[in-house]
Structure 1
């Protein structure tokens, strides 16, 4: 039967709910005003709202009901923030004077009610006790509670002993709000309580009391999970850290006892390759043990909050170690002297691994300290040593050296570039950069190749914004990369220019780097691409005796896409002249035209880019050369849309030529009126010029005369005949000039197809006529006059302007 107190105190559900909206006018309103908290997955308390709480009766059950003081439902009634049953189990705990905390079995949620006044908390607490049939708690004179569940200044932890371990476990494992956790941590740290618990552990271990040992595991696990910085700082001290490992060996969820202490004291060996100060050595031992605790002992039980706190302790300790070491000049000198003089492969490996660990710990240094660290390491010879280690016979040494270089390039690439440009490295003929190139080409480890490509991209990129002009340092580094004989880029490109069957992984990574260079360094890379006939040789990788692997084929396609995406007219005309797309089209159909796969999709992306960006030269070339084949691809609209855009271009050209015909075959050209056939001939010559390979880097930067520039002020164009320059023939892929291209042979409209191929230097450049040789000037004037007479004769005979062959 219910006590008379409860019968007189509680009302029916309907009566209480009707009266809740009137609580704001009641004198006890402040006593019922609470905040509701839910414990989230991170171990933090989330505020779920403020309102008024009451216990109501619903049939035979009692409910804890909390109504918001502000939020309302659609019907105008106050919103219910909490509506849960009162459990008959002992799950409720009163903490301090104003908190009631419990784990709700129906909601599967840790909850807390924080009252505005202690009297309101006591009132609801007593109502819960009455429902559970337990004696109520009277209010003390000082306003505190005298029950054993409160956590505060009045809590007295039982003296540690085997018999009191259950009660200690019950107290420390109680989930509570942060203030109660800090209070509990303070009690555990007071009066040597932790030392007493460790003494009890030793007694239980001597007696072999497994049950008590497992209970101690739960106690110390809960102490760690309090996530109190004060408590963790105490536990991580040398006098406690190894003692803490003892109870944590007896995890009741594991089938057998662990051996953490034996592992840390006897199995783990500290390799002191270079003598370090005693305080640094002690900090290294401490940091390793904390890391072991986090990663091995308690990884299953740590919540995110505690895990983050312990990680912070480790980070701070590592920063102290690194700063102590790189500020010790004597230590650094001893370390790098050993690295440079060491001949034993195993000892060298251990020294490089030690440097790798230093660099790894330096990742967490403050931003202003990282340049100091790398500068100190560089001044003592870090990169000089690492460059040689990249070619070490020991794979472990190469991996460690590569990891150091990779981390340094991602944090301070400017320091690496600065070292490569210093006088010391120049005296060694840029050994560091060349060793990187050799390692990329020669190393058998695919991961090292990939990391080296990543590092070289970071060093070559320089500016994150490609629209900005590169700094002098970047320009000097690019000159170092592209200059010299052989240049570094030539060393890297050798597996592509002179391929071998066993170099597929190397070719894959090299093509990745070369595609990046085409995008990032258009001028410098274009010179190298054209001089080495690289595009043709890259495409030859698809035409071997055996079909190229898919990943290599994709690398070739990405290289070609980088060429197309550069939108360089010189590249585009070179592609058309050499018919480079033929290899891609053959690969597309050989791979299965109806297949959705990476190779076909990569090829389609090139044509889609040409269509979307309206690159007219490549669009017309693709349709005129491969249109019939591509029209058969109907499962996507790319080639259909290309055909439509091509027809639009041809229609516009037809309209323009019709307009020119209405003008009597005369049109303004470069500031004066000339005959249409002459203009067509000039267009053909211009196209021949752009199809030529240019090995003069200065021509790209020269201004070109526009149609507004009067011809009288444009200097005659000097001619350089192919037979006078064998390099130009080689650049075009010929060893000797074509037949009929000799000095003195001129072109006529009748035999335009046999006209000599010439290279124009400084086309359309406005210069003083005195700067041009008189012989060349006379020759150019004579040729121009002859072309004019021939075009006028042809115009008179035909009566209409001649039309160019569209092909």
Structure 2
């Protein structure tokens, strides 16, 4: 906007002090003896008496908020005006029938695609006159220096006036809204830049005084109405109300009324108290909330919130829960009384947010309550991190002999650590990592083992939650603790999880234990503390990964997956016979199949050796004939992992077991149903085709060509089987034998050529493992050991080369 609001008389859009009306001659001598009148622009400034209109008036509708509804006060033209007499900037809106048109403007233009008659007005509309006292004016309000203006939906300006009234201007054109909004912005910038010069009155000085009547049952209706109306005013008015309430300690003076109303069974009065407290809370002030958390105030507040008028025949039991069911149990002593008070207040704050105000809070109040919880919990966690005596006390609790008294105290300690971990998840990453490292160093893992060894499900849930959190943030420290237990010949934590998983009946707990075992066996996962996001926040525990894996495969993995070997042998099952698995067992088999898939994908030669020596695939393959659909899917996942391993020993093992024949039989049975099982079977065959696993393809066609031909015409499975047979035909026409292609034929297997060359050097391809030939299985042990040593030598060589100076490596 060309006009600028300053303390001096306003400058026009054309650079003149005041632009005279078109009827007056222009006396500017620089234009020559016959000056032409200056063109009229939308940004031109017009003066009438002591009022200077900045730009053309823009067509608007003026609204005022009355009883929570917008009332239309009329249509007119609005412009920014400078009042020279009172040195004020004004927003002026005048009824459209009384505004004056000064003619067309020079900078008018019709937007493309709009007919000239449909375009916005192209005339300069004069809004001001020498007096603004006439009823012709819908609005003449000073621009307030406070930030009370909002622009909404491009053409709407909303603000709160000095007296707390909400007003709105709805513009017909976007350009008009832009011009008036620029005027408001320019005036408020002037307030910021001016040295002590103020336009208009101070908002705070203009606010009406606030005071509530004395707290009595007879005045409750008046108190509620006054609070409600004041809370609907401007932010400044709400701040004034809050300041008065805290200064007069008014909320505490309301607490005796609760007891009085309950003794009289005055339900309307109790409903009024609920509305009063709800209104106070919805003012969304953190000082008020902290005030309400005090001991002698909070229980009265809870009592008032028990009587919701929306449920007049029901009464909540907040006070009963806070006093009886949620007693505070102190496991360790806190030297700082402020922290102890903050723990009480944090619990009350969370209970207020999640229970007492459930369904009542708006987004602003919820955000403020969450912020308070965050800061309270951050203070508690920081205190626990920096107080070594706390962890010493906790360690002494679990070192004491277990009896009835100490058993209760130990159970409380587990819950205490769980709550501490829950609070730690809410704070920032450095504090989180510091807390969990402090927990590990402070001896929380023995506490977890104690809780897992009990039969109390609640303690097992708490311990599992703590363990999952520790693994998520610092899995390497948990592995180091397990190795320490192995060296000390104690029962390792991983073995405890294995026993719990085998005997578990709770599906949620078994899933959590499975994930914990999987994370501990994933040597590539160190935890969030050692990720790029948390790099440098905690020192990484050093462990011997090979030592841990060796311990795992010396017996722990076999014990973990032993229940799978109790399944029937697939080779002794007819292709069409199904097996029934009891409900407690299928959950365990599903978790163990997932763990088996994981070790196949991540533990390379160790898992391959286990697959061959344990014959576990033959037992897992029997699940292909289980009545439970998810058991069949679990078996298919294991077989896909075996195929993805690209290991020739595993392929030959699957060929001996004729696993693909059982999968084909399952597909033949499920194809007419077109379900998830048939899709999974087709996915496995598509993987064989895509990776061009020639040994398995050739064996499948040779042994089960009749079943393939039968499925070839199936409307569901036919396309996939046809593609499979075409791939095998191309393999046969290429002239490369399956034995030659087992090392070099498949594009995917070319990545493993170096590894397979090593097996050739050991003449390993002549070893054909068979479950009935123990001598063949034993022959694989030296081979696998030589391969492990070979890989270790390669790793050592890479490490030595990496440590050499860069100049030597380049040379």
TM range (shorter): 0.5 to 0.7
Secondary structure of the corresponding residue to residue 437 of structure 1: helix
Post-superposition shift, 1:495? 0.5
The correspondence of residues 379-390 of structure 1 with structure 2, limited to 5 A, is 379-390=441-452
Post-superposition shift, 1:294? 1.7
Structure 2 counterpart of 1:159 = 213
Post-superposition shift, 1:256? 4.0
Higher mean C-alpha displacement, 260-269 vs 508-517: 260-269
Structure 2 counterpart of 1:576 = 655
Post-superposition shift, 1:464? 6.0
2: CA distance between counterparts of 1:152 and 1:96?
A: 14
Once the two structures are superposed, residues 398-450 of structure 1 have per-residue CA deviations (whole angstroms, 9 ceiling, x without a partner) of 2222222122222322321232233x552134622221222222223232221
Asked if the contact 1:482/1:489 (under 8 Å) is kept, the reply is: no
Structure 1 counterpart of 2:130 = none
Secondary structure of the corresponding residue to residue 453 of structure 2: coil
Secondary structure of the corresponding residue to residue 601 of structure 2: helix
Asked if the contact 2:561/2:592 (under 8 Å) is kept, the reply is: yes
Once the two structures are superposed, residues 37-62 of structure 1 have per-residue CA deviations (whole angstroms, 9 ceiling, x without a partner) of 999xxxxxxxxxx997968799xxxx
Task: Identify if the C-alpha distance between structure 1 residues 425 and 386 changes in structure 2 by more than 3 Å, giving closer, same or farther.
Answer: farther
Structure 1 counterpart of 2:666 = 587
Select the residue among 590, 597, 611 that pairs with 1:508. Answer: 590
Structure 1 counterpart of 2:328 = 270
Once the two structures are superposed, residues 521-568 of structure 1 have per-residue CA deviations (whole angstroms, 9 ceiling, x without a partner) of 22321121112122122113445xxx4422222211111122223344
Structure 1 counterpart of 2:474 = 412
Structure 2 counterpart of 1:114 = 159
Structure 2 counterpart of 1:355 = 417
Structure 1 counterpart of 2:605 = 523
1: CA distance between counterparts of 2:278 and 2:211?
A: 17
**1:488 corresponds to 2:556:** yes
Once the two structures are superposed, residues 260-302 of structure 1 have per-residue CA deviations (whole angstroms, 9 ceiling, x without a partner) of 3344234532223444444443222222222222222221211
Once the two structures are superposed, residues 466-500 of structure 1 have per-residue CA deviations (whole angstroms, 9 ceiling, x without a partner) of 9x9xx997983464245367522111110012348
**1:287 corresponds to 2:346:** yes
Secondary structure of the corresponding residue to residue 368 of structure 1: helix
Once the two structures are superposed, residues 615-635 of structure 1 have per-residue CA deviations (whole angstroms, 9 ceiling, x without a partner) of 444344444444442444456
Task: Identify if the C-alpha distance between structure 1 residues 420 and 301 changes in structure 2 by more than 3 Å, giving closer, same or farther.
Answer: same
Consecutive unaligned residues in structure 1, runs of 5 or more: 1-20, 40-49, 59-68, 80-91, 126-140, 658-679, 691-698, 707-715, 723-727, 739-758, 767-807
1: CA distance between counterparts of 2:205 and 2:702?
A: 86
Select the residue among 178, 186, 201 that pairs with 2:243. Answer: 186
Structure 2 counterpart of 1:734 = 773
Q: Give aligned pairs, total.
A: 613
2: CA distance between counterparts of 1:480 and 1:296?
A: 47
The correspondence of residues 638-787 of structure 1 with structure 2, limited to 5 A, is 639-644=718-723, 646-647=725-726, 650-651=729-730, 653-654=732-733, 704=757, 733-735=772-774
Higher mean C-alpha displacement, 258-267 vs 392-401: 258-267
Structure 2 counterpart of 1:756 = none
Asked if the contact 1:96/1:144 (under 8 Å) is kept, the reply is: no
**1:252 corresponds to 2:334:** no
Secondary structure of the corresponding residue to residue 114 of structure 1: strand
Asked if the contact 2:63/2:167 (under 8 Å) is kept, the reply is: no
Asked if the contact 1:165/1:212 (under 8 Å) is kept, the reply is: yes
The correspondence of residues 550-565 of structure 1 with structure 2, limited to 5 A, is 550-565=629-644
**1:228 corresponds to 2:285:** yes
Asked if the contact 1:406/1:455 (under 8 Å) is kept, the reply is: yes
2: CA distance between counterparts of 1:642 and 1:529?
A: 28
1: CA distance between counterparts of 2:694 and 2:147?
A: 76
1: CA distance between counterparts of 2:490 and 2:678?
A: 44
Select the residue among 372, 388, 391 that pairs with 1:313. Answer: 372
Structure 1 counterpart of 2:297 = 240
**1:609 corresponds to 2:687:** yes
2: CA distance between counterparts of 1:623 and 1:389?
A: 55
**1:169 corresponds to 2:224:** yes
Asked if the contact 1:481/1:489 (under 8 Å) is kept, the reply is: no
Secondary structure of the corresponding residue to residue 544 of structure 2: helix
Asked if the contact 2:62/2:168 (under 8 Å) is kept, the reply is: no
2: CA distance between counterparts of 1:356 and 1:735?
A: 50
2: CA distance between counterparts of 1:440 and 1:38?
A: 67
Once the two structures are superposed, residues 176-227 of structure 1 have per-residue CA deviations (whole angstroms, 9 ceiling, x without a partner) of 5655543443343334343444466566566654434322321221111111
Task: Identify if the C-alpha distance between structure 1 residues 204 and 36 changes in structure 2 by more than 3 Å, giving closer, same or farther.
Answer: farther
Asked if the contact 2:164/2:234 (under 8 Å) is kept, the reply is: no
Structure 2 counterpart of 1:788 = none
2: CA distance between counterparts of 1:55 and 1:562?
A: 79
Task: Identify if the C-alpha distance between structure 1 residues 51 and 165 changes in structure 2 by more than 3 Å, giving closer, same or farther.
Answer: farther
Once the two structures are superposed, residues 559-588 of structure 1 have per-residue CA deviations (whole angstroms, 9 ceiling, x without a partner) of 112222334444334323432112222223
2: CA distance between counterparts of 1:155 and 1:74?
A: 55
Secondary structure of the corresponding residue to residue 444 of structure 1: coil
Consecutive unaligned residues in structure 2, runs of 5 or more: 1-40, 47-51, 66-76, 80-91, 98-107, 122-138, 171-197, 531-538, 569-580, 746-751, 778-782, 791-811
Structure 2 counterpart of 1:261 = 319
Asked if the contact 1:99/1:115 (under 8 Å) is kept, the reply is: no
Once the two structures are superposed, residues 630-666 of structure 1 have per-residue CA deviations (whole angstroms, 9 ceiling, x without a partner) of 4444566765355346435534653658xxxxxxxxx
Task: Identify if the C-alpha distance between structure 1 residues 654 and 265 changes in structure 2 by more than 3 Å, giving closer, same or farther.
Answer: closer
1: CA distance between counterparts of 2:258 and 2:437?
A: 50
Structure 1 counterpart of 2:458 = 396
Asked if the contact 1:702/1:762 (under 8 Å) is kept, the reply is: no
Select the residue among 553, 557, 566 that pairs with 2:645. Answer: 566
Structure 1 counterpart of 2:192 = none
Task: Identify if the C-alpha distance between structure 1 residues 117 and 188 changes in structure 2 by more than 3 Å, giving closer, same or farther.
Answer: closer
Asked if the contact 2:274/2:305 (under 8 Å) is kept, the reply is: yes
Structure 2 counterpart of 1:777 = none
Asked if the contact 1:349/1:397 (under 8 Å) is kept, the reply is: yes
2: CA distance between counterparts of 1:341 and 1:177?
A: 61
Asked if the contact 1:34/1:114 (under 8 Å) is kept, the reply is: no
1: CA distance between counterparts of 2:501 and 2:276?
A: 55
The correspondence of residues 619-630 of structure 1 with structure 2, limited to 5 A, is 619-630=697-708
1: CA distance between counterparts of 2:384 and 2:649?
A: 55
Secondary structure of the corresponding residue to residue 249 of structure 1: coil
Higher mean C-alpha displacement, 611-620 vs 507-516: 611-620
Asked if the contact 1:517/1:525 (under 8 Å) is kept, the reply is: yes
Structure 1 counterpart of 2:501 = 440
Task: Identify if the C-alpha distance between structure 1 residues 439 and 641 changes in structure 2 by more than 3 Å, giving closer, same or farther.
Answer: closer
